A and B are shown apart, each in its own frame.
Chain A
């Protein structure tokens, strides 16, 4: 490993540690912050996510090698972890750690972008249905019922078979557009209850338009459940992307993605387990971290007072 990559790795670890320590110090001043860090896994989840997000963002600095480079496909194939290749090399002689770092760009990026799409559609549909009620609501919610009744992985497989090599952008779009159903139900339920609150009636009496009422009065008040569901959704989407890539339908080689890396290594699980193990471990760690983050946010944003 080059001195640059070593320094970068140590800097990342330090950055994740200090960033979380700093956030924690500030958060402990507020009640919601205390509840957030009261969750046993919140601090570790944040560290993991900060570490991998920074690694992905700064990938060219962090990765010791070019993730696509296959320097010696015969002599360096499936090399065990060593100082030169801290997580070993894969079947094409590429450095696993470098691919892991770059793969984070794809895996985290897909997770965040697809969640952003799912969230936008879900919030839009849910708020419209909940505020408008009547036939608009009935129509949209029947659509959601259909969406929830069809297995998502089936829809995804069906769609991706139309493309020989699906682009990452299209994958994000497809995952996003199949993932908004539960969010829309959640937001609709919030909107249905919030629209009856006196401050919404007051806003109508003061001449606010439906769009303004939804944007200014319903959504801010419904922010807590939306944020929680977003955090949980990112982990979920990453798992889905990994699964698709593992099956060969998702991100296409040579673009590294954690799911595809697991798939690349499955042929030599007995002889070179590190090629699948480290990407698999990373997926597990990051997805668990997103889930823990969602859980901790749920605790923190719960409007009910603490029971002491």
Chain B
């Protein structure tokens, strides 16, 4: 296997709040390999977004801080020890990001062409005129019709889907190695979602980018990801190749997520979910953090926190005692 382009090791991002220290990301590790798509999935509040923000050190400090001992390695350097100017040279240039709310992530007082051109002027140091030409060219590439005219329009004049195309164009200006897409389609119509994902996949293939896809939508994961990291309560609870994860999930949380997806085929009935909600990040449960919601939990789960245990499939591991004691798994 090739060396990862982006490696996260034991990432801990805590927030100091009046209610106590919120351990939003608590010892997360994963590798992102060149050209692949790694999906990070989980419910709201499980630390997906904080993980992605931590990579580019965009977590607001204070109240947040990344603990020493965490490592985010990109092109042989630990991003957590870089100076602010070094970091800015990477942001938007080598690692770019696409956000969840495209209409809010664009500045309302500048035309979209100006905003794309701004990235080129920051990182490529090109002239105003060249940057504008590049902006129109990129809008063409991301499939915005009549790009020259659209470049002169303001975000409020464009649809959500077009705005997201603009955000992607902004992210692609410098041909980044890594694209972090944080819920890129959540705010969009379903038909537009498919177009945006298609666009991302096409640009990924063209440019050989690695994509870190943050999502809660398992349908998107199945369609686009090579590998999946499932997060729960600030930890990685399962990691596997996409096919293995969908075929035989090891962690009860993963299984619960999969079972919650409404299906077109099969028996109709009430929508299934996982009972309960993610506990607050200031008070993760002792032992396995999922045990209060787990149908299989026994005494050991309430006292001892499981490590990531390797499962039968290569590259699949889960933070669950069931991996070592499969006989305790209750039949569904």
Contacts and interface: CB of A to CB of B under 8 A. Distances in A.
Contact of B92 (A134, A201, A205): A205
B245 interface: no
B90 interface: yes
A199 B97 contact: no
Chain A interface, DSSP helix/strand/loop, else mixed: helix
Contact of B56 (A134, A198, A203, A205): A205
Interface stretch (B103-111, B137-145, B203-211, B217-225): B103-111
Interface string A168-208: 00000000000000000000000000000111011111111
Contact of A221 (B58, B97, B109): B109
Given A198-B99, A216-B118, A204 B107 contact: no
B88 A208 contact: yes
B105 A201 contact: yes
Contacts of A199: 104-108
A207 B99 contact: no
Contact of A202 (B105, B109, B110): B105
A209 B91 CA distance: 10
Contacts of B88: 207-209
A198 B105 contact: yes
Given A201-B99, A220-B109, A206 B170 contact: yes
A212 interface: yes
Given A204-B91, A206-B96, A212 B122 contact: yes
Nearest to B87: A207
Contact of B122 (A197, A207, A217): A207
Contacts of B153: none
Contacts of A220: 107, 109-110
B93 interface: yes
B167 interface: yes
B89 interface: yes
Q: What interface size band does chain A fall in?
A: 10 to 19
Contacts of B109: 220-221
Contacts of B108: 199, 221
A221 B105 CA distance: 14
Contact of B104 (A197, A204, A221): A197
Interface string A37-73: 0000000000000000000000000000000000000
B302 interface: no
Contacts of B93: 207
Contact of B58 (A205, A209, A216, A217): A205
Interface string B124-136: 0000000000000
A217 B119 CA distance: 13
B293 interface: no
A205 B104 CA distance: 14
B71 to A, nearest CB: 21
Interface in B51-65: 56, 58, 62
Contacts of A205: 56, 58, 91-92, 96-97, 99
Interface string A203-242: 1111111001000110011000000000000000000000
Q: Which of A202, A208, A209 lies at the interface centre, i.e. has the most chain B CB atoms within 10 A of its CB?
A: A202
Contact of A206 (B62, B85, B97, B101): B97
A32 to B, nearest CB: 14
B156 interface: no
Contacts of A221: 107-109
B114 to A, nearest CB: 9
A148 to B, nearest CB: 27
B90 A202 contact: no
Nearest to A212: B122
Nearest to B104: A198
Interface string A141-167: 000000000000000000000000000
Interface in B62-116: 62, 85, 88-93, 96-97, 99, 101, 104-110
Contacts of B118: 206, 208, 216
A217 B122 CA distance: 14
B101 A198 contact: yes
Contact of B107 (A203, A207, A209): A203
Contacts of A208: 88, 92, 118, 122
B65 to A, nearest CB: 13
Interface string B19-63: 000000000000000000000000000000000000010100010
Contacts of A206: 91-92, 96-97, 118-119, 122, 170-171
B278 to A, nearest CB: 23
Interface in A111-157: 134
B105 A207 contact: no
Contacts of B56: 205
Nearest to B116: A206
A202 B170 CA distance: 10
Q: Which 6 A-B pairs have the closest CB atoms?
A: A206-B92, A207-B92, A207-B91, A198-B104, A202-B105, A205-B97
Interface of A: 134, 197-199, 201-209, 212, 216-217, 220-221
28 contacts: A198-B99, A198-B101, A198-B105, A199-B106, A201-B58, A201-B99, A202-B97, A202-B105, A202-B170, A203-B107, A204-B58, A204-B91, A205-B91, A205-B92, A205-B96, A206-B122, A207-B88, A207-B122, A207-B123, A208-B88, A208-B122, A216-B107, A216-B110, A217-B107, A220-B107, A221-B107, A221-B108, A221-B109
Given A197-B104, A198-B105, 14 more contacts: A201-B58, A202-B167, A205-B91, A205-B97, A205-B99, A206-B122, A206-B171, A207-B119, A207-B123, A208-B92, A208-B118, A209-B122, A216-B110, A221-B108
